[in-house]
Amino acid sequence: MGIYLNPGNGGFLQAVRSKIYVDKTGLISCTNELLGTEQKYICVSRPRRFGKSMALRMLAAYYSRGCDSEELFQGFKIAGQETFREYLNQYDVIFLNMQQFLIRSRGQSVIEYLEQAVIGEIREVYGELFSDTETVLASVLERIYAKTDKQFIVLIDEWDCIMRERQEAEALHRQYLNFLRDLLKDQPYVALAYMTGILPVKKYGEHSALNMFWEYSMTDQKALEEYTGFTEDEVRELCGRYGMDFSETGSWYDGYQFINYKHVYNPRSVVEAMTCRRFSNYWASTEVYDALKIYMDMDFDGMRTAIVHMLGGGRIAVNTRSFQNDMRSFKTKDDVLTLLIHLGYLAYDSMERKAWIPNKEIIEEFENAMSVGGWSEVMRVITASEKLLEDTLLCREKEVAAGLDRAHTEVASILTYNDENSLGCAIGLAYYSARKNYMLIRALPTGRGFADIVFLPLPHTGGPALVVELKYGKTADGAIQQIKNRHYTQALERYTGEILLVGINYNKDRPDKPHSCVIENMEKKEEGLSYENV
């Protein structure tokens, strides 16, 4: 087995021998369908630690000529497919890890170093088919194909690291993209090209000639949704195996959403949590929060307002189409927010075209980024949120109203109240600390409408549920009455325990005391609530 040519199955063997391996071999069925078709060019972009490299090692193990991987795949999904043996270990695979080439090239041209290394290894197998002086990889593969009729599968890991780590090196970008275009586009020796990275490929200026690639990104994973992260069923099985609470796992690591798979979990973090038997911030801890802070602090109109809305549990509309697929060509806040989607800091609904902060793990990362300066007013609201929650649970209506007044004063320069939706985002921010023990649900469907905000206690936390109704320019008593008239608590009919009804009104004509609050207590004694259904 080689390093670049037919690397074999050792990498995948290591994965399946690990304490936790979730079967994603169904991906091979997808790539088998695309072999030799117009759709054979695949670019999969996902955040770091979302299983991209593992998928490439799996594909290398399956397709690499010269090794026997049949036993390795037995018991996995792909082994039951009709095409399993048809393509098993039938192709010469070229595996390129661009991160390694970037590091090892040092003062030498990255492309020159890559071609020397790869051609040198190919020469050991096919040296008699091309000249000793040949230095262009595409030419070498053309000659081999012309004389043997053998096609290659090209796997490229970290395809975009040159763009991410050498952001100012435009000449290198052009050279690299020209290399990829020459190597892959319209080449008869290519049976399949599968690239992974964080960024999509299609908009690098004049070099959009890479548009032969079909893109599967965090804004639309298309047919590869199931292989983007862990699915709900996969996480449920892991929680059962390791004795971890499923709903709390969701609050920490769920939140990424696609068209068919509404619950996609961060795979790295789930594995860490199951292995350590403890919920914590695993994924974000692999990169310093300075990276997020740089983008949060960019001075685009509406950027800070958008972040505050999302910190308050809201969703914001994002135009992802103007993004240039690099990390420095930003023209609007939407470009920055789109990058954060690709980096995994935001989730995205391609149908509604809205983004949000997906889970507790990422919320903590935003908090870390804000804590080092520039967001002092928001941090004061977050710090005060513990006391606001305590006052709410003790039904201290005047204290809650006063606390909301103070929170509004702090964020008034960022977030302007102009309707109940913006009020809801502000209230969500004011109750920020509640997310430690609660699941925050905006616009929970009920029997006769939508409850504005519901705070659902996580299992074993012992707190009451909160049903919050917001009014703008009306009365807090009217908010409570709406909860009762429309039977909003029916959505919690299987919840056992105390429920607090919280009515909040904002009156812009009362600048001294703009907020009013009414809190009522009711108890439920029915069977337990099914968290995953809300």
* CATH classification at residue 150: 3.40.50.300
Q: Are residues 423 and 398 in the same domain?
A: yes
Asked whether residue 342 falls in the same domain as residue 411, the answer is: no
Q: How far apart are CA 186 and CA 214, in angstroms?
A: 14
* pLDDT computed for residue 31 by the predictor: 98
Give the range of the structural domain holding residue 428, as residue numbers without chain letter. Answer: 383-534
- Domain count of the chain? 3
| Residue 222 forms part of a structural domain | no
CA distance linking residue 384 with residue 401, whole number of Å: 13
Residue 2, in any domain of the structure: no
> Are 266 and 390 contained in the same domain?
no
Final residue in a domain of this structure, among 374, 395, 422: 374
Edge-to-edge order in the sheet of strand 152-157: 92-97, 152-157, 190-197, 41-45, 214-216
Percent over 90 (pLDDT), the chain = 71
pLDDT for the residue numbered 414: 85
**4, part of any domain:** no
Indicate whether 5 belongs to any domain: no
Do 176 and 306 have their domain in common? Answer: no
> Do 474 and 450 fall into the same domain?
yes
pLDDT recorded at residue 519: 97
The predicted structure's pLDDT at residue 372: 85
Distance CA 264, CA 255 (A): 6
Helix boundaries (H) for 449-491: 476-485
Tokens representing residue 186 in the block = 């319209």
pLDDT attached to residue 425: 85
In this structure, are 286 and 423 located in the same domain?
no
Q: Is residue 322 part of a domain?
A: yes
Last residue of a domain, one of 324, 355, 374: 374
Same domain, 173 and 37: yes
Cα(229)–Cα(216) distance, integer angstroms: 13
| Residues 369 and 508 occupy one common structural domain | no
Residue 221 lies in a domain: no
Between strands 214-216 and 41-45, the pairing is parallel
Given a cut of 50, the residues of the chain with pLDDT beneath it are: 207, 288, 524-534
For 511, the token pair is 């600048």
Residues 412 and 528 in one domain: yes
Smallest CA-to-CA distance from 394 within 221, 217, 256, 519 is with: 519
Which pLDDT tens digit goes with each residue over 121-171?
Answer: 999 999 999 999 999 999 999 999 999 999 999 999 999 999 888 888 888
Core vs surface per residue 203-233: b (16+ CB within 10 A) or e: bbeebeebebbbbbbbbebeebbbbbbbbbe
Query: 10 Å Cβ neighbour count for 302?
Result: 13
DSSP 37: S
Last-in-domain residue among 352, 374, 396: 374
Instruction: State whether 22 and 124 are in the same domain.
Output: yes
Q: Would strands 449-457 and 465-472 be described as parallel, antiparallel, or unpaired?
A: antiparallel
Same domain, 141 and 240: no
Residue 529 is predicted with a pLDDT of 42
On whether both 362 and 454 belong to a single domain, the answer is no
